[in-house]
């Protein structure tokens, strides 16, 4: 079963239907990125996401490990462990065909989407052992970039790494090459405090992987033994720096680093690390002892399936300048030809950068004319089909000579040497007053600079000390950044000085020499040149993201062990407990001793002080700095029982247990020990605080106490007012009760009157009835009488 993503074919014949290896959700994020964004947008996304997996899989720096190799478009490549395609695209740009093998379908989809425009890629998805049996094609190159260390997982055998290499070699063409990139288990970064990359534990590799299975890296000696046991006699080691994952320089045994070159060592974007020592300084010592190949962080090996002598030119050193705008991305190589002669080559890494290469040739011609007849000589440059070819000039750089004088503390000669440099780089002709032009502002911004500064018509701003080789003449080996508009000559000196000072292991010593002022560069200029440098960097970078600018954003903070030790020692001094005895003459240093905190199971400090018969009182200083102390228990013991002890202190009592000491001599004094007390036990907690915080806390407490006192006073006043009102209400209540009683009395009288009235009414009604009855009888008698 096959799937096609653009022009890329994914072959699922050997896929078992489940990804057995995954980085989790981040792979979905990566797939979304490559599906919805062009490659040119990856840098921007890396800068926005600040995640190690995004950097690792999408950074164009990954391809630096392979891009320099002379793979041509007639050759085929088998890429084992192609992953998300960080290397695949570059291989496809160089080779006729690239066959990829990867265990993960998700990663293979990421690879396919990011390289969908390329029509020479096939991805075989599945287990290597299953796929390998079906491969009949022979390849010119087989790559294992970050893969060989997993040989134990790829191959089931007692000697998995040797067998892995033997199996791979079966698929090589005659004169084919195996390319392996792998970490060195003895790499300096691991000694310096980086975690082992694969297991995430400190020192696991240099301890020999005591508890690790399925993955391991090797020393150079171990790798050579594996290669030789597999029958290969022709192989070369290269040394990617800082490592093979994100390299910007490739060294070799024919061209090893020099002192002072290896100063880009903080590259742990995957996890925080310890900082045990200055790697730059240690590298200098290692280089001096000829041990760099043993402690290189990574290895790149080219193993050849041939014993014929090399009849081609060989690249022995490559330096990438591709953290830049596309129009400035280049690579610099040192090449050994078939006659063992060295030359330098510069090539464009993008189509847009070809103009930059062409400009360098023009710069060579212009500068050669400018310095004609002087002690300055431009490194000879000729145009080649694929770039520019330069002479390889041997000798000491001006920087190396200055280093020697600095080491000898011969500051006078160091100053004289820099003065000679100034005299040499100043063109004898065509000097003019500096003025800001439109071209200048585009590159360096609109710096505020004095008008009296001198400039030249054409200026190489890269005339730093490391780019000048001292011989019969002063040979300038780099003139990449040359401009034909006025630039202050002092800016050239500023760049040379600042580059030398800030990249030196003797930075502080150089700063104290005051070289800027001694050489006539004012503070106003220093500020302006610093702003120019920022603008220049923006001009070179364009929209590109410099990887070092992301350092510290993808991990937790590093652990500086020397700082921790210093803090711990300082803390021990601060937390030092001193006990004073008073034998009747007061407290003195003579009758005292110091001890350090001992903690119980509840993390409380327990201090036991033995008491002799003639001890009048004791003083306990719980520390020698500003602090908060909580006394959990303070008791005295005799041979039978214990009793609580009273104390007084020079601290501020916060409550019945806690004390605030706003001085660096906190004291807890026990004046009454009791006759039979033989031991005092103090259990307490302490928190060291700064003087500023202690004063601020004390001020806060005093303000709070004043506020509480003020509120208590207000409450007392209000209580008095309330008492007065209550008394007034009580008086009114008495009056009201009296009135109520009067009303009750009147009500009773009214009730009695109403009863009398009711009785009189009843009598009246009765009399009225009698009158009516009498009237009726009278009427009857009258009627009868009439009758």
Percentage of residues in the chain having pLDDT higher than 70: 98
Does residue 745 lie in a domain region? no
Mapping DSSP onto H, E and C, the string for 131-192 reads HHHCCCCCEEEEEEECCHHHHHHHCCCCCHHHHHHHHHHCCEEEEEEEEEEEEECCCHHHHC
Considering 689, 707, 726, which residue would you say is the last residue of a domain? 689
Does residue 664 lie in a domain region? yes
Percentage of residues in the chain having pLDDT higher than 90: 63
Confidence (pLDDT) at 607: 93
Please indicate, yes or no, whether residues 417 and 534 belong to a single structural domain of this protein.
Answer: yes
pLDDT for residue 730 is more than 90: no
Contact 204, 212 (CB under 8 A): yes
Confidence (pLDDT) at 311: 66
For 117, the token pair is 């425009």
Confidence (pLDDT) at 217: 96
Confidence (pLDDT) at 310: 66
Give the CA distances from residue 604 to residues 630, 632, 686, in Å, rounded to whole numbers and listed in that order.
10, 9, 9
Please indicate, yes or no, whether residues 507 and 604 belong to a single structural domain of this protein.
Answer: no
Does residue 376 lie in a domain region? no
Quickly state the pLDDT bin for 597 (edges 50, 70, 90).
confident
For 588, the token pair is 């003195």
**How far apart are alpha carbons 32 and 45 in whole angstroms?**
12
Please indicate, yes or no, whether residues 594 and 657 belong to a single structural domain of this protein.
Answer: yes
**How far apart are alpha carbons 241 and 243 in whole angstroms?**
5
Does residue 604 lie in a domain region? yes
Please indicate, yes or no, whether residues 505 and 612 belong to a single structural domain of this protein.
Answer: no
Confidence (pLDDT) at 570: 63
**How far apart are alpha carbons 353 and 341 in whole angstroms?**
28
Quickly state the pLDDT bin for 560 (edges 50, 70, 90).
confident
Contact 283, 251 (CB under 8 A): no
Confidence (pLDDT) at 440: 94
Confidence (pLDDT) at 306: 77
Please indicate, yes or no, whether residues 580 and 523 belong to a single structural domain of this protein.
Answer: no
**Non-local CB neighbours of 417 within 8 Å, separated by 6+ positions:** 398, 401, 402, 405
pTM as predicted:
0.78
Least confident of 83-97, 481-495, 496-510, 546-560: 496-510
Confidence (pLDDT) at 60: 96
Confidence (pLDDT) at 574: 67
Confidence (pLDDT) at 428: 61
Please indicate, yes or no, whether residues 538 and 633 belong to a single structural domain of this protein.
Answer: no
pLDDT for residue 103 is more than 80: yes
Taking each continuous run of H as one helix and of E as one strand, the counts in the chain are 23, 35
Give the CA distances from residue 192 to residues 195, 277, 280, 549, 566, in Å, rounded to whole numbers and listed in that order.
9, 6, 11, 22, 18
pLDDT for residue 430 is more than 60: no
Considering 689, 706, 728, which residue would you say is the last residue of a domain? 689
Confidence (pLDDT) at 20: 81
Give the CATH number for residue 595: 2.60.120
- Please write the tens of the pLDDT for every residue from 445-493: 998 888 788 888 899 999 999 999 998 889 999 999 999 999 999 999 9
Contact 324, 544 (CB under 8 A): yes
* Domain count across the chain: 2
Using CB atoms within 10 Å of the CB of residue 116, give its burial: 0 to 12 exposed, 13 to 18 middle, 19+ buried: middle
| Structural domain for 613, as ranges | 575-689
pLDDT for residue 86 is more than 90: yes
Which residue in this structure is represented by tokens 């000669």? 413
Question: Within a 10 A sphere around the Cβ of 44, how many other Cβ atoms?
Answer: 13
Please indicate, yes or no, whether residues 405 and 538 belong to a single structural domain of this protein.
Answer: yes
- Please write the tens of the pLDDT for every residue from 231-276: 999 999 999 999 999 999 999 999 999 988 999 999 999 999 999 9
Which residue in this structure is represented by tokens 């303000």? 703
Confidence (pLDDT) at 758: 83
What value does the mean pLDDT take over residues 72-80?
97
Does residue 516 lie in a domain region? yes
Please indicate, yes or no, whether residues 402 and 544 belong to a single structural domain of this protein.
Answer: yes
- Please write the tens of the pLDDT for every residue from 436-452: 899 999 999 998 888 78
Does residue 568 lie in a domain region? no
Question: Where on the phi/psi map is residue 183: left (φ > 0), alpha (ψ -120 to 50), or beta?
Answer: beta
DSSP 195: B
Phi, psi of 483 (to 5 degrees): -130, 140
Quickly state the pLDDT bin for 327 (edges 50, 70, 90).
very high
Round the average pLDDT of the chain to a whole number and report it: 91
Give the CA distances from residue 443 to residues 364, 464, 529, 650, 742, in Å, rounded to whole numbers and listed in that order.
20, 19, 13, 65, 106
Does residue 609 lie in a domain region? yes
Confidence (pLDDT) at 703: 86
- Please write the tens of the pLDDT for every residue from 565-590: 777 766 666 678 999 999 999 999 99
Does residue 663 lie in a domain region? yes
Confidence (pLDDT) at 79: 98
Please indicate, yes or no, whether residues 601 and 541 belong to a single structural domain of this protein.
Answer: no
**Non-local CB neighbours of 734 within 8 Å, separated by 6+ positions:** none
pLDDT for residue 429 is more than 60: no
Give the CA distances from residue 419 to residues 414, 426, 477, in Å, rounded to whole numbers and listed in that order.
9, 11, 20
Please indicate, yes or no, whether residues 457 and 596 belong to a single structural domain of this protein.
Answer: no
- Please write the tens of the pLDDT for every residue from 187-199: 999 999 999 999 9
Stretch (H or E) spanning 365: helix 354-370
Confidence (pLDDT) at 576: 85
Question: Within a 10 A sphere around the Cβ of 35, how many other Cβ atoms?
Answer: 13
- Please write the tens of the pLDDT for every residue from 105-127: 999 999 999 999 999 999 999 99
- Please write the tens of the pLDDT for every residue from 709-729: 889 888 888 888 888 898 888
Confidence (pLDDT) at 309: 64
The 3-state DSSP composition of the chain as helix, strand, coil percent (nearest 5) reads: 40, 25, 35
Confidence (pLDDT) at 682: 94
Alpha helices by DSSP H, listed for 575-670, are: none
- Of the candidates 88, 185, 89, the one whose C-alpha atom is nearest the C-alpha of residue 143 is 88
Considering 671, 689, 707, which residue would you say is the last residue of a domain? 689
Please indicate, yes or no, whether residues 656 and 598 belong to a single structural domain of this protein.
Answer: yes
Q: Which of 95-104, 260-269, 703-712 has the largest mean confidence?
A: 95-104
Please indicate, yes or no, whether residues 543 and 618 belong to a single structural domain of this protein.
Answer: no
């Amino acid at each position: 079963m096959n799937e096609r993503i653009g022009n890329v074919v994914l072959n699922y014949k050997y896929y078992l239907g489940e990804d057995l290896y995954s980085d989790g959700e981040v792979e979905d994020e990566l797939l979304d990125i490559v599906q919805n964004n062009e490659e040119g947008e990856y840098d921007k996304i890396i800068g926005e996401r600040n995640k190690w997996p995004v950097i690792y899989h999408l950074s164009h720096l990954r391809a630096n490990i392979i891009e320099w190799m002379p793979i041509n478009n007639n050759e085929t490549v088998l890429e084992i462990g192609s992953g998300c395609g960080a290397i695949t695209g570059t291989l496809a740009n160089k080779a006729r065909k690239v066959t990829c093998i990867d265990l993960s379908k998700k990663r293979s989809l990421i690879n396919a989407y990011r390289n969908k425009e390329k029509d020479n890629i096939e991805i075989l998805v599945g287990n290597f052992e299953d796929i390998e049996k079906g491969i009949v094609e022979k390849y010119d190159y087989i790559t294992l970039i970050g893969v060989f260390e997993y040989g134990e997982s790829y191959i089931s055998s007692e000697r998995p790494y040797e067998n892995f290499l033997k199996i791979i070699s079966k698929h090589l063409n005659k004169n084919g090459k195996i390319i392996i990139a792998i970490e060195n288990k003895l790499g300096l970064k691991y000694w310096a405090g980086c975690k082992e990359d694969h297991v995430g534990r400190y020192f696991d590799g240099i301890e020999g992987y005591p508890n690790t299975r399925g993955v391991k890296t090797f020393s150079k000696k171990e790798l050579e033994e594996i290669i030789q046991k597999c029958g290969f006699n022709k192989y070369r080691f290269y040394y990617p720096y800082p490592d093979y994952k994100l390299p910007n320089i490739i060294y070799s045994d024919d061209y090893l680093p020099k002192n002072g070159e290896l100063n880009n060592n903080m590259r742990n974007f995957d996890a925080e690390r310890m900082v045990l020592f200055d790697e730059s300084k240690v590298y200098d010592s290692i280089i001096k002892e000829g041990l760099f190949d043993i402690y290189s962080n990574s290895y790149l090996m080219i193993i050849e399936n041939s014993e014929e002598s090399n009849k081609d030119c060989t690249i022995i050193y490559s330096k990438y300048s591709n953290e830049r705008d596309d129009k400035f991305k280049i690579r610099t190589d040192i090449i050994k030809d078939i006659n063992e002669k060295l030359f330098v080559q510069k090539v464009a890494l993008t189509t847009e950068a070809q103009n930059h290469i062409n400009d360098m040739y023009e710069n060579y011609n212009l500068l050669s004319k400018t310095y004609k007849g002087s002690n300055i000589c431009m490194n000879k440059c000729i145009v080649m089909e694929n770039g520019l070819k330069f002479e390889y000039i041997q000798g000491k750089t001006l920087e190396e000579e200055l280093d020697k004088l600095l080491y000898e503390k011969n500051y006078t000669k160091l100053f004289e040497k820099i003065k000679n440099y100034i005299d040499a780089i100043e063109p004898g002709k065509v000097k003019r007053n500096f003025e800001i032009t439109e071209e200048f502002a585009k590159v360096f911004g609109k710096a505020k600079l004095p008008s009296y500064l001198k400039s030249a018509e054409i200026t190489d701003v890269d005339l730093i000390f490391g780019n000048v080789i001292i011989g019969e003449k002063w040979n300038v080996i780099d003139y990449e950044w040359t401009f034909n508009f006025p630039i202050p000559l002092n800016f050239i000196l500023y760049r040379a000085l600042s580059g030398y000072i800030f990249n030196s292991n003797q930075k502080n010593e150089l700063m104290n020499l005051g070289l800027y002022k001694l050489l006539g560069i004012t503070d106003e200029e220093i500020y302006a040149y610093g702003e120019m440098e920022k603008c220049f960097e923006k001009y070179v970078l364009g929209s590109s993201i410099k990887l070092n600018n992301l350092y510290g954003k993808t991990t937790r903070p590093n652990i500086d062990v020397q700082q921790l030790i210093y803090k711990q020692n300082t803390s021990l001094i601060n937390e030092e407990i001193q006990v004073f005895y008073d034998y009747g003459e007061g407290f003195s240093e003579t009758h005292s001793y110091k001890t350090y905190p001992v903690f119980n199971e509840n993390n409380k400090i327990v201090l036991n002080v033995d008491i002799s018969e003639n001890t009048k009182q004791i003083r306990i200083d719980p520390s020698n700095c500003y602090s908060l102390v909580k006394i959990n228990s303070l008791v005295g013991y005799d041979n039978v029982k214990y009793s609580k002890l009273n104390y007084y202190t020079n601290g501020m009592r916060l409550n019945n247990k806690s004390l605030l000491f706003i001085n660096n001599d906190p004291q807890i004094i026990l004046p009454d020990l009791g006759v039979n007390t033989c031991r005092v036990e103090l259990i307490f907690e302490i928190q060291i605080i700064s003087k500023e915080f202690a004063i601020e806390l004390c001020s806060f407490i005093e303000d709070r106490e004043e506020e509480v006192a003020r509120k208590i006073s207000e409450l007392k006043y209000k209580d008095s007012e309330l008492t007065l009102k209550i008394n007034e209400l009580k008086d009114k209540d008495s009056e009201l009760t009296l009135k109520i009683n009067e009303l009750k009395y009147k009500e009773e009288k009214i009730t009695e009157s109403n009863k009398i009235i009711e009785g009189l009414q009843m009598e009246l009604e009765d009399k009225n009835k009698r009158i009516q009855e009498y009237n009726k009888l009278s009427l009857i008698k009258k009627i009868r009488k009439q009758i």
